[in-house]
Structure 1
Amino acid sequence: INKDKYEVEAIVIDKKEDIVTKVKGIDFALLALHGQFGEDGTVQAVLQTLGIPYSGCGPLSSAMCMDKDVTKSILQAAKIRTAPWINLSKNDKIDYDAIKKLGYPVVVKPTHGGSSVATFIVKEEKEIEECVKEGFKWDSEVMIEKFIK
């Protein structure tokens, strides 16, 4: 960006409560986001509500992409191949028969979020429970999907 033509200011958002005050008065947001409310559409929704133009995807597509279960369901509905999976909520019991049908190894990970946080490649049934518990430390849902090499 040509700093002779534009006044460029880096804005760091540490808490979603700060978004409105930090973006007030800007003309355009060139988004370079990472993290929970950076990638889930929250920032885009605030900018859109305030009428501030920005680069990148809108709030709906951002939110959908941060939900792996929704993303995979949309891909499947569009006849785009995706690894078979099951999704667990915290109150669900682990269905070992369903996991066995997927076939080992499987990938266990939080349904929401990114950066491979709490993501495990599980080769045996005895590892599942511990990995699912770890996933639930990060999210209210955990995805178990067939590992694709």
Structure 2
Amino acid sequence: MSRDFGKVAVLLGGSSAEREVSLKSGNAVHNALVQAGVDAHQFDPAHQPLHELMQGQFARVFIALHGRGGEDGTLQGALEFMGLPYTGSGVLGSALAMDKVRCKHLFQVAGLRTSPYVVVDKNSAYDSQAIMAQLGHVMVKPSHEGSSIGMAEAHTAQQLKQALQDAFQFDDQVLVEQWLSGREFTVSILADKALPVIEMRTPSGFYDYQAKYQSSTTEYFCPADISAEQTAQLQEMALHAFNLVGAKGWGRVDAMQGDDGEFYLLEVNTVPGMTEKSLVPMAAKAQGIEFSELVQRILEQTL
């Protein structure tokens, strides 16, 4: 199959806050493709203008860019303009999934369970006391960042104020979400099918940047220790959310189980991590799909 792909650009790095993670993902993808006999080449848009993809006569693109400029629809639009097939979601699906606030709005309208929330704009007045009175213990998230960048929890109005100031360094719009203290899960999607559910457990309280990429104490359970009925419910919920935002090809949907035992959607990821500690490869392996086959399957979607 590898000879059918032609010359492949693996887009990695970029200039978003997730550059370091993207470099790891892109390196892993590139190495796997090369070992499989694919004519794959690394391409970092932070150092190479996109028009060089045309000059380099690339046939297709594997997107391993996380965050803005890679996962938000802007790159996808540029590649479509150039007529280059690319992996993953299109312009609209990428843009919507990257926007946590609009995702929450969509989940609510579609009747998909998600934690109560408030949206705070950088240049608008807000009352941190009123927000805490409404939501209690909260999680603060920049609307357009991934890899848990800029996220923080707050128990008091003063902590919320500081968390918002920190989050505004990354985004002009911030999501303040009621804290969920239950178990944390993720469902990987590959070719319109849900892979085995993974549960993540970390002593830090939530699955933040350190727990994802630096900690040796984070535990992963794949498949997750939940009933067959709960697994099916969570997979169906994840697929619904994935399709709702217009995502395609492959990705990941994160959720939590509240104290009430119900599942609550967190967000949709259209270019999830592909590092050695990443969740999509872990779920694929539990399904009998090794990393090399996984990256080829994702690339096959461009044919």
TM-score above 0.5, yes or no:
yes
- Give, in angstroms, the shift of residue 83 of structure 1: 0.7
Which sections of structure 1, spanning at least 5 residues, go unmatched? none
Q: Which residue of 1 aligns with 2:134?
A: 101
* Distance 1:4-1:63 versus aligned 2 partners, 3 A rule: closer
AA aligned to 2:123 is N
Q: Confirm whether residue 129 of structure 1 aligns to residue 161 of structure 2.
A: yes
Q: Is the CA contact (8 Å cut-off) linking 2:138 and 2:178 kept in structure 1?
A: yes
Q: Is the CA contact (8 Å cut-off) linking 1:29 and 1:55 kept in structure 2?
A: yes
What is the percentage of aligned positions where both structures have the same residue?
A: 31
- Give, in angstroms, the shift of residue 142 of structure 1: 1.3
RMSD between superposed Cα atoms in Å: 1.9
Q: Deviations over 1:50-107 (max 9, x none)?
A: 111111111111111111110011111110011111111112222232331112x101
Query: How many equivalent pairs are there?
Result: 146
Q: Confirm whether residue 13 of structure 1 aligns to residue 45 of structure 2.
A: yes
Which of 48, 67, 83 is matched with 1:51 structurally?
Answer: 83
Q: Which residue of 2 aligns with 1:83?
A: 115
Q: Which residue of 2 aligns with 1:111?
A: 143
Separation in 1, partners of 2:34, 2:138: 48
Report SS of the residue matched to 1:86.
Answer: strand
- Give, in angstroms, the shift of residue 5 of structure 1: 5.8
Which sections of structure 2, spanning at least 5 residues, go unmatched? 1-32, 182-303
AA aligned to 1:92 is S
Report SS of the residue matched to 1:53.
Answer: coil
Separation in 1, partners of 2:180, 2:80: 38
TM-score normalised by structure 2 residue count: 0.45
Once the two structures are overlaid, the 10-residue window that deviates more, 5-14 or 45-54, is 5-14
Separation in 1, partners of 2:42, 2:147: 23
Q: Is the CA contact (8 Å cut-off) linking 1:13 and 1:22 kept in structure 2?
A: no
Q: Is the CA contact (8 Å cut-off) linking 2:153 and 2:163 kept in structure 1?
A: no
Higher strand proportion, which one? 2
